[in-house]
């Protein structure tokens, strides 16, 4: 795997760790107004998305970039739509918030980035053998 992959992974780990330590697991989380919490989550999602796009584009992997776009944009749009509903009409039911939180965590976590890196590694390994 290339140095670019490892650098991107390290940055995503740092973003993910800071998000959890300084935001989700912070004792002051509930004192932060709900709209501000929404914006922090949104900016974190966008930062990981843009980092992934940059890394995948720099490695010239078109089909993985497309998958990255589809997964992240779908998740971000879904979360934003429910966030707008939450701002305008009131608090969403807890089960919907749990699902949206799980989607956000999946998009922020380095899991998808690692999976794409492993797929690329094994596909390139097969091409080199041939």
Kindly report, residue by residue over 41-73, the tens digit of the pLDDT: 999 999 999 998 988 888 777 788 889 999 999
Task: Give Cβ neighbours of residue 107 (< 8 Å, ≥ 6 apart).
Answer: 45, 48, 49, 71, 72, 75, 76
Alpha-carbon separation of residue 67 from 17, 19, 49, 89, 99 (angstroms): 24, 24, 12, 33, 21
Confidence class of residue 122 from pLDDT cuts 50, 70 and 90? Answer: confident
Backbone dihedral angles phi then psi of residue 94, each to the nearest 5 degrees: -60, -40
């Amino acid at each position: 795997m290339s140095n670019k992959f490892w650098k991107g992974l390290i940055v995503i780990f740092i973003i993910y760790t800071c998000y959890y330590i300084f935001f989700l697991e912070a004792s002051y989380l509930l004192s932060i107004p709900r709209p501000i919490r929404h914006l922090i989550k949104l900016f974190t999602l966008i930062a990981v998305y843009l980092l992934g796009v940059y890394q995948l584009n720099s490695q010239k992997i078109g089909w993985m970039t497309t998958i990255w776009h589809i997964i992240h944009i779908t998740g971000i749009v879904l979360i934003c739509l429910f966030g707008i509903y939450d701002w305008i009409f009131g608090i969403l039911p807890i089960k919907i918030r749990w699902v949206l939180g799980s989607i956000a965590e999946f998009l922020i976590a380095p899991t998808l980035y690692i999976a794409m890196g492993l797929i690329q590694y094994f596909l390139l390994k097969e091409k080199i053998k041939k």
